[in-house]
A and B are shown apart, each in its own frame.
Chain A
């Protein structure tokens, strides 16, 4: 038992080291390109990735957040109605999504939708020697393949969190209006009361970190695929599982640190 824990910890640390080296290698390759006075990234590839990560994810993120926001508002509203405190629902949803559920839900959705796609794509490229060909041409595979993906997901996850929060608030608005009988003007006042700059900024910062984690894990798993098609399948599953658990773990860590260093007043 102790041996197994030791081995798992050792493997996890080795992989963490490899992911760190991947990030460092990518920064070095980008630096090389800049020092040669060349654009560090291919604009077209970056736009393709941002379109896919950002625009392509909006419907799913908005839909999931809308349904969760609506459900939460409905269930919490039903309970609070008993005590006559249903006016707390808009605030609760605003706080929950701006600070916690928005980044978390968006992170999980993107780990499944984009992280899996990154791993499968890079994994297939690795198996078919395309990654090696990019390296053999002297193009720098980390700069060429990893950097645009990582930049797209790290930069756009915070934007998607804003959309997620808006969608959830809209879900709670419908419940507030038609079930809890809260007037629209009063709903927006309550929501504004619930939204705190500190929570919004923390949510955006956290989501950027989640994006970095998902992108790094997905690209690392894709570039280390072994064993053909089955290997790509295993790597994709592993990428999603690792990303989701790491995102949840990191979120917990953020919350502990936030409560310890910046407790709610």
Chain B
């Protein structure tokens, strides 16, 4: 992506931020919740507890994510990584504690306000979650047609721009079923970018991809987030991807954050859980612990639509 396109994307964020209520775009650094202030966290979890029935998934998790970071969330299966992303999107409500995005308490917002904030967050799903009945073009156009006042020509221009960013310019009329896993993932990333979000959440971006495609997706994440100055939170099991993408890492274990720091700290951690996870060893505290726990709690319907 060229620098002009990146600058255009950042400028357009302010327009989109106020589309829902029809307010004019604010002056630079005059944001409502401190998003323009580099010292204020973009995302903050304060003592978040999440229980599904009797199972405690998150047990007093506190975390602050600052603008420009590429935060990697590590942890075993069922440790609450993807759940954390859903808490940030407001799809799940915490049992206790508070979740903030740009200074707004997500868990206290009504549906309408929440939808306004969601337009400022992009989400890339493990299996892409492209709408299967829509073409690639329509998948990308959907959020713009529904949430913005852009004209059709402008929408088409943005779609071309975002598809070019993920090197997928030639599949506009294809249906999702006609694409490979890696292609779907890139289209998912392009869809997450169309509204120029301030934050992108990645749920297992490398899962199910071959090593080369996985590296391509990793490079895309790095380049796009750097060029568009977007903050990202990446949930992954893949340690190669994690070290390649991350500027900071946290590890969830038994509902708590047990390590938080730059990737180098994780490589040389003295915490036996972290070292076992990073090195992928079978011997260590993680397997001993999982023998006494259910592998994954049964989750309630995750969307408010199905509640």
List the interface of chain A (C-beta within 8 A of B).
18, 21-22, 25, 28-29, 32, 36, 38, 42, 124-126, 128-142, 144-146, 223-226
A18 near B307 (CB under 8 angstroms)? Answer: yes
Residues 284-307 of B contacting A (Cβ, < 8 Å): 301-307
Which of B142, B303, B307 counts the most chain A CB atoms within 10 A?
B303
Contact of A138 among B114, B129, B131, B145 (CB under 8 A): B114
Q: Is B183 in the interface zone, CB < 8 Å from A?
A: no
Tell me the interface secondary structure of chain A in the complex.
Answer: helix
Roughly how many angstroms separate A135 CA and B142 CA in the complex, as a whole number? Answer: 12
For A131, what are the chain B residues with a Cβ–Cβ distance below 8 Å?
303, 305-306
Roughly how many angstroms separate A133 CA and B306 CA in the complex, as a whole number? Answer: 13
Contact of A25 among B86, B132, B305 (CB under 8 A): B305
Given contacts A137-B147, A138-B116, 19 further A-B contacts (CB under 8 A): A18-B307, A124-B132, A128-B129, A129-B126, A129-B127, A130-B129, A130-B130, A131-B303, A132-B91, A132-B302, A133-B123, A133-B125, A133-B130, A136-B89, A137-B143, A138-B117, A138-B118, A139-B142, A139-B146
Roughly how many angstroms separate A141 CA and B118 CA in the complex, as a whole number? Answer: 13
- Nearest-CB distance from B240 to chain A (Å)? 25
B305 near A142 (CB under 8 angstroms)? Answer: yes
For B127, what are the chain A residues with a Cβ–Cβ distance below 8 Å?
128-129
Contact of B132 among A130, A135, A138 (CB under 8 A): A130
A126 near B115 (CB under 8 angstroms)? Answer: no
Contact of A129 among B125, B146, B147, B307 (CB under 8 A): B125
28 A-B contacts (beta carbon < 8 Å)? A22-B305, A25-B304, A32-B112, A42-B146, A126-B301, A126-B303, A128-B127, A128-B132, A129-B125, A129-B127, A130-B131, A131-B303, A132-B91, A132-B125, A132-B129, A132-B303, A134-B131, A135-B118, A137-B123, A137-B142, A137-B147, A138-B115, A138-B118, A139-B142, A139-B147, A140-B115, A142-B305, A146-B305
Given A138-B114, A138-B147, A140-B115, A223:B306 Cβ within 8 A = yes
For A128, what are the chain B residues with a Cβ–Cβ distance below 8 Å?
127, 129, 132
Roughly how many angstroms separate A21 CA and B306 CA in the complex, as a whole number? Answer: 10
For A32, what are the chain B residues with a Cβ–Cβ distance below 8 Å?
111-112, 115
For B104, what are the chain A residues with a Cβ–Cβ distance below 8 Å?
none
Q: Is B20 in the interface zone, CB < 8 Å from A?
A: yes
B123 near A223 (CB under 8 angstroms)? Answer: no
